[in-house]
Amino acid sequence: MLTLALESSAKAASAAVFEDERMLAFAIQNAGLTHSRTLLPMAEGLMRQLDRPLSALDRVAVSRGPGSFTGLRIGLAEAKGLCWALDIPAVGVSTLEAMAWGGPVLDGQMLCCCMDARRDQVYNALFTVEGGKPVRLTPDRAISVPELENELVARQEPWILLGDGAELCYNAMDRSLVTLFTAPEPLRVQNARGVGLAAMGKDAVPAGELLPVYLRLSQAERERLARMEKESIT
């Protein structure tokens, strides 16, 4: 089964091609260029170098969030466009799960995946590793750093921090209460390899039905709800 994996939820964009569980090719762009210019050419280039037509693809795996709203939509729109034209299904993968799969998956490790969500929050999920695979301990959520710190402390384990929020958490948390490590740079942030690996055990769905998981309302919706709440109190 030939899978194209796409990742564009944060600063870097990457693409990978998998034959079943084996990664055949991988490309990444981390120069701050817009994903709209770089992601599809990477996918196109990988397939050309592999001497495989796009029509050989069986499915497309893609980060469905959380992450940069615009970044997610670029990846998802490309996945949907490819799947629509090729009439193949797609697999949506949690960005945080992809991050865990791309991290240091040594048995027994505790992985804390966190992306800087601004507004004093991180997008986060916790994983442990069993049999070389991440096992989910929490759902994906937007959580404040102190709240997350309490959870990590309560579990009484040393944690490896991943993601572009790793440093933020490392610096903000009280390391006399919880043992923290930041993952080494090459293993720290999500990429298309992690997306492809995380997609392995998952069922594909019709790509048209694939929806991003933003974990956050738009600013206009948030402000409107806050206004309504305020009005209902007064």
Partner 1 sequence: MLILSFESSCDETAVAVVEDGRRVLADEIFSQVALHEIYGGVVPEIAARSHLEVISLLADRALEKAGVTRRDIDAVACTYAPGLIGAVLVGVNFAKSAALALGVPLIPVHHVRGHIAANYLAYPELEPPFVCLAISGGNTMLVDVRGYTDMSILGQTRDDAAGECFDKSARVLGLGYPGGKPIDDLSKRGDDRAYDLPRPTVNGGSPYDMSFSGLKTAVVNLAHHAEQTGEPLDKPGLAASLCRAVSEMLVGRTMDAAARLGYENIAVAGGVAANSRIRADFEAACQKAGKTLFVPPLRLCGDNAAMIGAQGYYEYLAGHTAGSDLNAYATMEL
Chain residues binding partner 1 by CB under 8 A are 34, 36-38, 40-41, 44, 54-55, 69-70, 73-74, 76-87, 207-208, 211-212, 214, 218-221, 224
Shortest Å distance, C-beta 59 to partner 1: 13
Shortest Å distance, C-beta 191 to partner 1: 19
Shortest Å distance, C-beta 164 to partner 1: 21
CB contact burial 152-168 (16+ within 10 A = b; e otherwise): beeeeeebbbbbbbbeb
Nearer to partner 1, 66 or 102 (CB): 66
- The H or E element that residue 126 is part of is strand 121-130
200 in helix, strand or coil?
A: coil
Nearer to partner 1, 22 or 119 (CB): 119
176 in helix, strand or coil?
A: coil
Nearer to partner 1, 220 or 233 (CB): 220
Is 100:114 a contact under the CB 8 Å cutoff? no
| Cα gap 88→219, rounded to integer Å | 34
Whether a cis peptide bond, with omega within 30° of 0, leads into 66 is yes
Shortest Å distance, C-beta 196 to partner 1: 18
Shortest Å distance, C-beta 165 to partner 1: 22
Nearer to partner 1, 136 or 216 (CB): 216
How many other C-beta atoms lie within 10 A of the C-beta of residue 56?
13
Nearer to partner 1, 90 or 180 (CB): 90
